Amino acid sequence: MLCCSSKRLSEPERVQEWHKNGNKWPPLWQNETLEYKQVMADREEEIMQIPGANERWENWMQFTQGRLVPKFTTHGFEVIQTPKATHEKLHAFIADALSRYETLPNEYDINAIYGKNKPLFVNIGNLASDVLNDLQSIHEEWAGGIELRGTSAYGVRLYKNGSSLVMHYDKVHSHVISSIVHIAHEYDDEDEPWPIQIEDHNGKLHSVNLEPGQMLFYESAKCLHGRMKVFKGKYYGSIFLHYAPVDKSIWDYSVDDVIASVPPHWKDNIVEDTGSRWAGQGITVDSRASFGSNPRIVRGEFIHDNKSPYAYYNNINTLNQTIHEEL
């Protein structure tokens, strides 16, 4: 089986279990709006056009996860001001690090981040866990009052010039209620910011700009998100906070659950092993492909090159730039 380790079921065994468990497709796991169902039907059609098995499987894993898990909020994301004391502590630490910019280490290589200039990483030590603990209650409040446990405080990541980020869902077992706490950036042109793209619970794509001192709540395992535009500037620095529900009756999902839920027809009409746009775990269909991803090549034939804007991507430019205007 292309997706799984030797400890997991073979593909025929997995398919047998899929039917045995009473699965249907389109799925009935969660209540979905008509708008969302239509977006998902269109996305499935796109995914099934991916010729490479590995790339298509990763798209199916992401696609299945987004439909498998429940939602907690009306829209799936919201922008607020970062608590002042938290922002001031983070900003002071990053300002000091930026004074030593040329000596900062690179972050480890991540398939989902495009661009020749790999991000820098600022290890903020115990401050990361302090922020995770300090902001837990406001994440709980935003998610409807459920009890959460902190699972990860990652960063600070400093994206560099030319970066973009594949559209994706976060880790299903641990990254459930999350936030991007934006600390600082330096653009080449303040009139050309670097927004995050995120889908709401109707499947509608939004483009949201964050200012230093703002944070974005988002249901990171449920809402597709990434940065489809190319960053133009010196650095863009944020810390990523992740929480999961304590009550396992609310959330008890694993990667194995997602694997078991991918429908058997995912592999129909596969023609290649890998796929030219494979990017680890992510959605790489044309309508959600980030700039900087590989061109689509099928059996050695060049199909198109997304260094030029897709017609789909141009629609993002018409979206309002903050959730407050859009929703």
Q: What is the pLDDT of residue 3?
A: 46
Residue 7's pLDDT band, with cuts at 50, 70 and 90, is: confident
Judge contact between 230 and 307, C-beta under 8 A: no
Task: Write the pLDDT tens digit of every residue in 80-106.
Answer: 999 999 999 999 999 999 999 999 999
Where does 1-327 sit in CATH, by number? Answer: 2.60.120.620
Q: What is the pLDDT of residue 8?
A: 84
DSSP string, 151-189: EEEEEEEEE-TT-EEEEE---TTT-SEEEEEEEEEEES-
What does the block give as tokens for 303?
Answer: 């199909």
Cis peptide leading into 156, omega within 30 of 0?
yes
Query: How many whole angstroms separate alpha carbon 323 and alpha carbon 196?
Result: 11
Q: Which residue has the higher pLDDT, 327 or 277?
A: 277
| pLDDT exceeds cutoff 90 at 317 | no
Task: Write the pLDDT tens digit of every residue in 28-70.
Answer: 999 999 999 999 999 999 999 999 999 999 999 999 999 999 9
Give the mean pLDDT of 307-324: 41
Q: What is the pLDDT of residue 306?
A: 55
Domain ranges of the chain: 1-327
Q: What is the pLDDT of residue 303?
A: 82
pTM: 0.92
Task: Write the pLDDT tens digit of every residue in 137-194.
Answer: 999 999 999 999 999 999 999 999 999 999 999 999 999 999 999 999 999 999 999 9
Give CA separation, 77 vs 65, 154, 181, 227, 319, in Å: 18, 19, 13, 15, 16
Cα–chain center distance at 9: 27
Residue 305's pLDDT band, with cuts at 50, 70 and 90, is: low
Q: What is the pLDDT of residue 315?
A: 46
Q: What is the pLDDT of residue 166?
A: 96
| pLDDT exceeds cutoff 50 at 308 | no
For the chain, the average pLDDT equals 91
Among residues 87, 31, 42, the alpha carbon closest in space to that of 287 is found at 42
Neighbouring residues of 144: CB distance < 8 A, sequence distance ≥ 6: 72, 73
Give the mean pLDDT of 2-31: 86
Q: What is the pLDDT of residue 109?
A: 85
Judge contact between 171 and 288, C-beta under 8 A: no
Residue 321's pLDDT band, with cuts at 50, 70 and 90, is: very low
Q: What is the pLDDT of residue 324?
A: 36
| pLDDT exceeds cutoff 70 at 280 | yes
